[in-house]
Amino acid sequence: MMKMPSIDLILLHPPTLYDFRKRPGIHGPISDVVPSTPIFEMYPIGFASLSEYLERHGLKVRIINVAMKMLKDEQFDVERLIRKNNPVAFGIDLHWMAHVQGALALAEIVKRFHPNVPVILGGLSATYYHEEILRQYPFIDLVLRGDSTEKPLVQLLQTIKKGGDFKNIPNLTYRDGGNRIQVNPLTYVPENLDEITIDYRHIMKKVVRYLDPTGYQPFIDWYAYPVTAVFTCRGCIYACKTCGGSAQTFRTMANRKKPAYRNPKLLAQDIFNISDHLNAPVMIIGDIFQPGEEYGFAFLEEMKRRPVANHIAFEFFVPPSRAQLEGIAESIPNFNIEISPESHDEEVRRAFGRPYNNESLERMLKDAVDLGSKRIDLFFMTGLPKQTYSSVLETVDYCRSLLERFRPYGKLFPFISPLAPFLDPGSAVFEAPEKYGYRLLCRTVEQHRQALLAPSWKYILNYETEWMNRDEIVYSTYEAGKRLNRLKAEFGLIDPKTAGSVEIRLEGAVGMMKEIDRIMTIPNAVEREAALESLSGGRLALQHYSMSTICEKKELEWPTRFIRMNFFKILKTLLARRKPNVSIPSSTASP
């Protein structure tokens, strides 16, 4: 008799490049300002809401972060993992385009061992390329589109289990009996996020159920630095030109006409739940004032009722007013700020789509310092419209002027990183590159997949601009990184030892990139491959030069308490039965 699967859905998170443990390559500083390594081992936060929602609707779900398992254990056998698991369906994220090679490779393995088990792809990039994916890759059966797939996924799994027609499942693209691609309308687009929850208590329970802390681990250092995130929204009102999550992109790609927000009281409750269990920082994703001041202040009022000791990090899309910052300071004892001016040059910033000038940015910095922000992170980028090599370096000069001005504060951290590896599919620039001065080097899924096999991030980049070619984007990034690193040491933001090790790695990376450039000019492919294989220091050196080359990962960490987990409370939660945090707490009526 055939054994019934005990799990309905296994969600797999792939590495960017499946063979990263074998293929030499410098993936570069593409992940230096996010917690992941360049294989982007962080799974989409939506895995957590999918798992919670599906389980609440009677389905059994397991998350396996394959990228993390491969990263942690050089010998980890992916094929064995896939072979021994036999769920009703496998789900793989192709959310970030950077995972295209890894996601397809993993799907192929799944299909090889389980030809009759449906393979579902989801995420923003899968949404953008849904038809092309089903046309080109027979090992993918289904693509579930949109920024919100919780409800359609329940329907899909129930249909797979009980049998039935796929044609009534919203957001689904599939092959019919005649092998024709059917695209169901993308009609499931929730207007708010009150039914959807990211609940870390749920994840803790699953870790115990499957005895698999690595499979659920969000990024490599998470257990040492268990930073968490809460979500205000899906979608965005802004129109940054290279962003695949802009208002315009979500409209055309995900049929979202306006962002969906989470009720501010539920948002506060999400933070309280985290704070009960973890003493680490919480990042609020999405500017709390994006939905309007009323939303931001309603959230802050709620937070004021129960001040939490955790460091709370706010990201702002435009500089908040003094009154807004005062509201934060009154409600959150330890607040941190993140903002991305992208460039010091107002013309570049405007061309990118950020609607504010340096005066308002600096006014905000001053207010935040006055009001006791524990730390302020400024993010700048290379590869922007109208940005030249010298403009990139002038950004570092601007950082110097800010550091001088706020020297006594000592907690202003500038970062610079490249727009890499890919220009976001579906972004305004991706759709009309010439209009914005860009030259797109990859357009199809296959082109991106092949690009990821290149030996250095210079050759992976899917674009260049009228103002900088790939060489200039790459080497201006390293040069700016070097100068910024020195600046941080000079202003005491990092110790000389850290600065020294970053500089050594950076110089090594540049040397290795140049060596790869030389090898790439060898016309004979076999000789070229052989030369790449024999690069000095081999694969390990290449890995080494891909990590923390323009800044040290630790520089990103917000302050945290020494004991980061409340083990007693965690144990209590694991033993308790729990109601999900999806309806508005009764003690707090709507705003």
Closest C-alpha to 287, from 305, 264, 257:
264
| Nearest distance in Å: CB 354, ligand SF4 | 7
Site for ligand B12 in 52-111 (CB under 6 A): 91-93, 95-98
Question: Pick from 14, 15, 46, 291: which binds ligand B12 (CB under 6 A)?
Answer: 46
* Residue 289 contact among ligand B12, ligand SF4, none, beta carbon within 5 to 8 Å by kind: none
Closest C-alpha to 281, from 310, 314, 308:
310
| Nearest distance in Å: CB 246, ligand SF4 | 4
3-state secondary structure (DSSP) of residue 334: coil
CB 358 within 8 A of CB 344: yes
The residue (of 220 and 243) whose beta carbon lies closer to ligand SF4 is 243
Does residue 421 have a cis bond before it (omega within 30 degrees)?
A: yes
CB 265 within 8 A of CB 588: yes
Site for ligand SF4 in 245-284 (CB under 6 A): 245-246
Distance between CA atoms of residues 13 and 23, nearest Å: 20
Q: Per rule CB under 6 A, is residue 342 in the interface with ligand B12?
A: no
* Residue 274 contact among ligand B12, ligand SF4, none, beta carbon within 5 to 8 Å by kind: none
Question: Pick from 5, 7, 23, 34: which binds ligand B12 (CB under 6 A)?
Answer: 34
Q: Per rule CB under 6 A, is residue 144 in the interface with ligand B12?
A: yes
| Nearest distance in Å: CB 379, ligand SF4 | 10
Site for ligand SF4 in 217-236 (CB under 6 A): 236
Question: For residue 281, what is the DSSP state?
Answer: -
- Candidate ranges 116-124, 239-247, 466-474, 577-585; the one touching ligand SF4 (CB under 6 A): 239-247
CB 382 within 8 A of CB 473: yes
Q: Per rule CB under 6 A, is residue 124 in the interface with ligand B12?
A: yes
* Residue 240 contact among ligand B12, ligand SF4, none, beta carbon within 5 to 8 Å by kind: ligand SF4
* Interface mask toward ligand SF4 for 300-329; x: CB under 6 A: -----------------x------------
Distance between CA atoms of residues 203 and 182, nearest Å: 34
CA distances from 514 to 471, 517, 524 (A): 10, 5, 19
The residue (of 111 and 354) whose beta carbon lies closer to ligand SF4 is 354
Using CB under 6 A as the binding criterion, the count of chain residues that bind ligand SF4 stands at 7
Half-sphere exposure of 516 (CA within 13 A, CB side): 25
* Residue 285 contact among ligand B12, ligand SF4, none, beta carbon within 5 to 8 Å by kind: ligand B12
Q: Per rule CB under 6 A, is residue 50 in the interface with ligand B12?
A: yes
Distance between CA atoms of residues 401 and 153, nearest Å: 51
**What's the Rg (C-alpha) of the chain?**
24
| Nearest distance in Å: CB 63, ligand B12 | 10
Give me the DSSP letters along 532-558: HHT-TTHHHHHHHTTSSSSS-GGGGPP
Q: Per rule CB under 6 A, is residue 425 in the interface with ligand B12?
A: yes
Question: Is the sign of the CA dihedral 361, 367, 370, 372 positive or negative?
Answer: negative
CB 444 within 8 A of CB 359: no
Q: Per rule CB under 6 A, is residue 29 in the interface with ligand B12?
A: no
Using CB under 6 A as the binding criterion, the count of chain residues that bind ligand B12 stands at 41
Distance between CA atoms of residues 514 and 339, nearest Å: 33
Cβ-proximal residues to 246 (8 Å cutoff; 6+ apart), any chain:
236, 238, 239, 240, 353, 427, 428
The residue (of 30 and 403) whose beta carbon lies closer to ligand SF4 is 30
* Residue 317 contact among ligand B12, ligand SF4, none, beta carbon within 5 to 8 Å by kind: ligand SF4
The residue (of 246 and 573) whose beta carbon lies closer to ligand SF4 is 246
The residue (of 50 and 243) whose beta carbon lies closer to ligand SF4 is 243
Cβ-proximal residues to 375 (8 Å cutoff; 6+ apart), any chain:
311, 336, 337, 411, 413, 558, 559
The residue (of 127 and 403) whose beta carbon lies closer to ligand B12 is 127
**Taking every pair of C-alpha atoms in the chain, what is the biggest distance, in angstroms?**
75
Q: Per rule CB under 6 A, is residue 243 in the interface with ligand B12?
A: yes
Cβ-proximal residues to 369 (8 Å cutoff; 6+ apart), any chain:
376, 406, 409, 412
The residue (of 100 and 532) whose beta carbon lies closer to ligand B12 is 100
Site for ligand SF4 in 513-572 (CB under 6 A): none
**Which residues in this chain contact ligand SF4 in the complex, by CB under 6 A?**
236, 238, 240, 243, 245-246, 317
**Which residues in this chain contact ligand B12 in the complex, by CB under 6 A?**
11, 30-31, 34, 36, 40, 42, 44-46, 49-50, 91-93, 95-98, 120-125, 144, 147-150, 153, 229, 234, 236, 243-245, 285, 420, 424-425
